[in-house]
Structure 1
Amino acid sequence: MIAVLGVGPGLGLSIASRFGREGFTTALVSRTATRHDAYRGALPGITTHTYTADVTDEAQLRDVLVRITADAGEIDAVYFGPADATAGPGITPLPEAGPDDLRAPFEAFLLPAANLVKSVLPGMIERGSGTLLFAGGLSGKHPMPMLGTLAPASAALRMYVLTLHAALREKGVYAGTLTIGGLIERGDIHRVFTSQDHGFTPGTLNPDDIADQAWSLHVERDEAEAEFNAMAAV
């Protein structure tokens, strides 16, 4: 069973579809239930459970993981897609940022990831198997000034996952990161971004292609990172 935390119509749903086609039961978690019927309808033939929770809230995250396990059994894999910039703390240019501006993305991205690992990793280690997949931003690997305060948090999340990968290598548990630079087609960020004039147009990425690579990471378990770069300037 795979738990998809922070599911949306783009990458999260593609991850659920890709793993579901391989026989995984899917548990989809989002902030509201508004699109849950549509998500289940987009996954024909796949056993799917849907849940409402704010995964940036530690208590809600812990509670929803308990509910998922009660409904669908032990969690074999998790995918964590951090809250996007349109719904989270937003972007402040680094030259204008103070400590609180930098703290907010860490609380939206890194700390929930650590809370997730704290909840599911002990069981995975006890069973000697499991997969932890995270979506991160290219600004965590390459300087991208237009992403301002998101960059330090992206870098921290990336290094957190890479270090987890190294630490868990002998324990049967895999950790990997999808480092994404570009707008993901069908996703909420893509919809919001393309509805406004930002003065530049980043390239787009097909979420199904990213999900295919996520499946390969899960199966092959050797590489800790897959990069998807549609940013011509990087």
Structure 2
Amino acid sequence: MSTPVAVIVGVGPGLGMSMARRLGREGFRVALISRGAHRHDAYLADLAEHGIEATAYAADVTDADRLGEVLAEIATLGDIEIAYYGPGPTQPIVPITDIDVATAQAAFEWVWPAVQVAGAVLPGMLKRGTGGLLFAGGLSGVRPMPMLGQLALAAGALRNYALTLHAAMTDRGVYAGTLTIGGLVERGDIHAMVTADPTQFGAAQGHTLNPDEIADAAWEMFRARTEAEQVFDVLGD
């Protein structure tokens, strides 16, 4: 029997790589997907040092054709038992009072790939009665955060999608859950950008999250299959 595969969509140096290491330690072969390939050699070397078998693929998740090609290629490696979806939106934030329909629609370019990933892996999981999906989203999906503008709409939609999938598959052996993140993830690109700017460095103090701890919690969610969501909030009310 082939080694089960874990797909990490939107891998970065913070939570994405922590998820890759955590799942690799559980015996999964890891398949990384990120927008560009320039970090892949370092990612693969890191995982190899931990004894984790891994491959890496370049795909912008908003390019549905390319994402589909990569997911199909990964499926040839073995049964995909877990898929983690963690890319963040990239468009500039528009104040919620100023958004128009086009701006709101553009925010959902972050959500549609999550549905595409689920559509690619769920048929096999449901047929086997095993596996699961984990989604990473923002705190604005839980409580109003006007400073995130149109992105809050997409965060709410992604969270609802994950929770509804969880409810739909409770009795079918397949898990879905969401990691709702309120804080700067350490080692991630946004954290690096903030802490590199002396005028913004203070904004990180007391508002950071350890990605290894989030990855541990994610694994426990997948293993226990009882809770559909865990909120990581260091931003306060």
| CA deviations over 1:47-90 (Å, ceiling 9, x no partner) | 011111112221111110111122x2121100001234xxx112
Q: Does 1:75 align with 2:80?
A: yes
Q: Distance in 2 between matches of 1:143 and 1:192?
A: 25
Q: Distance in 2 between matches of 1:162 and 1:200?
A: 34
Assess if the C-alpha contact under 8 Å between 2:20 and 2:30 holds in 1: yes
SS at match of 2:158: helix
Residue aligning to 1:143: 144
Residue aligning to 2:57: 51
Q: Distance in 2 between matches of 1:165 and 1:91?
A: 30
Residue aligning to 1:27: 31
SS at match of 1:95: coil
CA RMSD, 1 decimal: 1.4
* Match 2:100 to one of 71, 91, 98: 98
In structure 2, what residue type is equivalent to 1:117? A
Residue 195 of structure 1 deviates from its aligned partner by 3.7
Count of residues in correspondence between the two structures? 228
SS at match of 1:94: coil
**TM-score when normalising by structure 1:** 0.93
Which is further off, 37-46 or 198-207? 198-207
Q: Does 1:63 align with 2:64?
A: no
**Amino-acid identity (%):** 53
Residue aligning to 2:183: 182
Residue 120 of structure 1 deviates from its aligned partner by 1.1
Residue 148 of structure 1 deviates from its aligned partner by 1.1
In structure 1, what residue type is equivalent to 2:52? I
SS at match of 1:91: coil
**TM-score when normalising by structure 2:** 0.92
In structure 2, what residue type is equivalent to 1:75? I
Alignment of 1:164-183 (within 5 A): 164-183=165-184
Q: Distance in 1 between matches of 2:200 and 2:141?
A: 21
Residue 193 of structure 1 deviates from its aligned partner by 2.9
In structure 2, what residue type is equivalent to 1:158? R
Residue 194 of structure 1 deviates from its aligned partner by 3.1
Q: Distance in 1 between matches of 2:126 and 2:15?
A: 27
In structure 1, what residue type is equivalent to 2:183? G
Q: Which runs of 4+ in 1 moved over 6 A?
A: none
* Match 1:219 to one of 196, 202, 223: 223
| CA deviations over 1:97-146 (Å, ceiling 9, x no partner) | 11111111111x21111111111111111111111000000010011111
Q: Distance in 1 between matches of 2:82 and 2:167?
A: 18
SS at match of 1:211: helix
Q: Distance in 1 between matches of 2:35 and 2:217?
A: 26
